[in-house]
Each structure stands twice: as C-alpha cells, then as structure tokens.
Amino acid sequence: MPELPEVETMVRGLRPVVEGRKIEKFLRCRCRCKPISASPTFPTISKKVRGCKITAVRRIAKRVVLDLDNDHSMVIEPRMTGLMLLTDPPDTEHLRFEWKLAGRGATKSFWFWDRRGLGTLSLLSSAEIQTKLGPAKLGPDALLMTVNEWGKMCEKTSRPIKVAMMVQKFVAGIGNLYASEILHRAKIHPETPAKSLKKKHTAKLQKFTLEILTEAIRYEGSTLGDGTYRNALNEAGGYQNAHRVYARAGKVCTSCQQTEILRIVQCQRSTFYCPACQPPV
DNA sequence: ATTAATGTTCAGAA
DNA sequence: TTTCTGAACATTAA
C-alpha cells in the first residue's frame, strides 16, 4: 500500500512520540497469521534492541527506519498493507509487532499492523544500510531527484515510462498509484519509451513528481476504497479525493472534461490515464 | 468462485 | 551479459 507520501506520513506521526525514548521490550503480537519475515530472526532482533534508545525516525524510500544508539537500525517495510500505529489498530488480529517504550514518565507502545503480511522487518548495521539501501540499490529519492537525474534515468532504459518510474533503482519512492497521477499531470502517455522523452518531458516529470508527492504528504496520503491505509493515529488520509486518474477508469477526465479515463495493464499492474490529455508520443 | 489490491523478489526467458 | 516478464508471497473484499 504505502508509497512515499504514506511512509513519510507514518514517520512524521511516529517521530515526536518515539524519538529519544528507550525500547523497553520488542514483542511479537500473538496472531494466528503467518509470521512477518524478519532478518535476522525475530528472537535475535528482539534481544539486540532491548534497552536501546531510538535516536531518530526517518524514511528511506518506502521504508520506515528507526535508528538506535547501538549503531543499528530497525527497518520496517510496510509493502502493501503495513501500518505503523500509535493508537488502537483497525483490528487486533493483524497486529504483528509491539514496541514497548520507556521514558518520559508513562510507558507507551507503538505497533506494526499488517493485514496481508507481506511487510518485512530487518535489523541492519549502519554499514549494511549503506550497502543494502544505498545508491547501489536505490535511485535518488523521488522528492530530491533533479531534472538532470531524470534525464539520465530516461536515457538508459527503453521501458515504458510508467514502468521505469516504479523501478526503485531508477527513482526511489514512487509506486503504482502516484506513477499514474504524475504522468497525467505531466501529460505524458504511460507507454512512452523512457528513452524517447526529451528535456521538456523530464523537466515536467521532476516538477510534477515533487508537486504531487508534496501535496499528497500534506493530505497525509491516500486511503483507497478498501480503507486500509491509516496514519499513525489510525485516521484515513485525504489525497484520494484529489486523484485525477487512479482507479477512475470509465469516469470523465477532470482536466479535459470530455474523455473517459482508461485502464491498461503494464507489468501486471493497473495503469490509468486520459488518452486525450496524454496522447501517444 | 474469481479477481484485484498503494510492493518486492526471484527464476527463467528474450 | 543484461534486461525484462510473470509468478509467488498472504489475506481480504468486491
């Protein structure tokens, strides 16, 4: 589920409550679902983080990173349905992990909740973060990517631009939903080979990626029809009301007010676009 | 019963 | 060798 804006919202929600406090205990919640994959194993992680202070909460691409005072970080990848919660969860049967915090008087907990259970947890040293989540594995963060970097990325692949935008090694943070939204705002057809895009196109990609993701963060992300995505206080996001194309197949385009939004499939994922506003190149 | 769902990874094909 | 596609992961809801 979560793409960059949703993960950024989780991080911003967690940060003021969690930063500077100590992990009294890190627990696996009892639920009968298959356990979340963890590396190293959960017991090892649990032992190593007990008593550590959380020095910072940050985002790397679509991951939540909890920096500890022992030169390691807990990295949570929410994938499709994972949530970081400071309050009561949508249901208790998909709670996965609980962090019990000490300090500042009362004990406080926060949780990882994941319905489908595709999320992951890992404990990485700062060196491992460099190798596993560094420039060798991830492209520039979508919010920081320059026009020049967009140009370089598009030069080196002939894949359709929508597909290329979702390759985290090219640009980190964009997923299926925001890729469609960005291309619509940039008026670029999703099947255009990245290689054939000119400077004026890559300039638009930079501009509207920044604009849309920033706006989505301001709205605290997108909560789709199934209602899964929630911020740290279990509240729905608001950006879904601003979507121009995502999940709007068959509806009239809000830009041209004439043409119906189409749905196509690229790499097993739905793409939505307006054939009038985004004509083939 | 079938299908699709905001993500990533891996095997095998091109 | 590199690049790319489809299946798999686990669960739910329409």
- What domains sit in chain A, N to C, each tagged with a CATH number? 4-133 (3.20.190.10), 147-242 (1.10.8.50)
Statement: the CB of A77 is under 7 Å from strand B: yes
Query: Can you list the positions of beta strands (E) in chain A?
Result: 22-28, 37-39, 54-60, 63-68, 72-77, 82-85, 95-102, 108-114, 120-125, 262-266, 269-273
Query: What pLDDT, on the 0 to 100 scale, is given for residue A46?
Result: 98
Nucleotide B4 C1' to residue A64 CA (A)? 26
Using the C1' atom of nucleotide C11, identify the protein residue whose alpha carbon is closest: A116
Q: Write out chain A's pLDDT in tens, 281 residues.
A: 699 999 999 999 999 999 999 999 999 999 889 999 999 999 999 999 999 999 999 999 999 999 999 999 999 999 999 999 999 999 999 999 999 999 777 789 999 999 999 999 999 999 999 999 999 999 999 999 999 999 999 999 999 999 999 999 999 999 999 999 999 999 999 999 999 999 999 999 999 999 999 999 999 999 998 889 999 999 999 999 999 999 999 999 999 999 999 999 999 999 999 999 999 97
DSSP state of A5: H
Using the C1' atom of nucleotide C10, identify the protein residue whose alpha carbon is closest: A116
Type and span of the H or E element at A7: helix A4-18
Query: What pLDDT, on the 0 to 100 scale, is given for residue A112?
Result: 98
pTM higher than 0.85: yes
- The set of catalytic residues of A is 2-3, 62, 269
Residues ≥6 apart with Cβ < 8 Å to A29: A95, A96, A97, A98, A111
Nucleotide C8 C1' to residue A106 CA (A)? 44
Using the C1' atom of nucleotide C9, identify the protein residue whose alpha carbon is closest: A118
Nucleotide C4 C1' to residue A101 CA (A)? 45
Query: What pLDDT, on the 0 to 100 scale, is given for residue A105?
Result: 74
The span from the CA of A112 to the CA of A95, in Å, is: 6
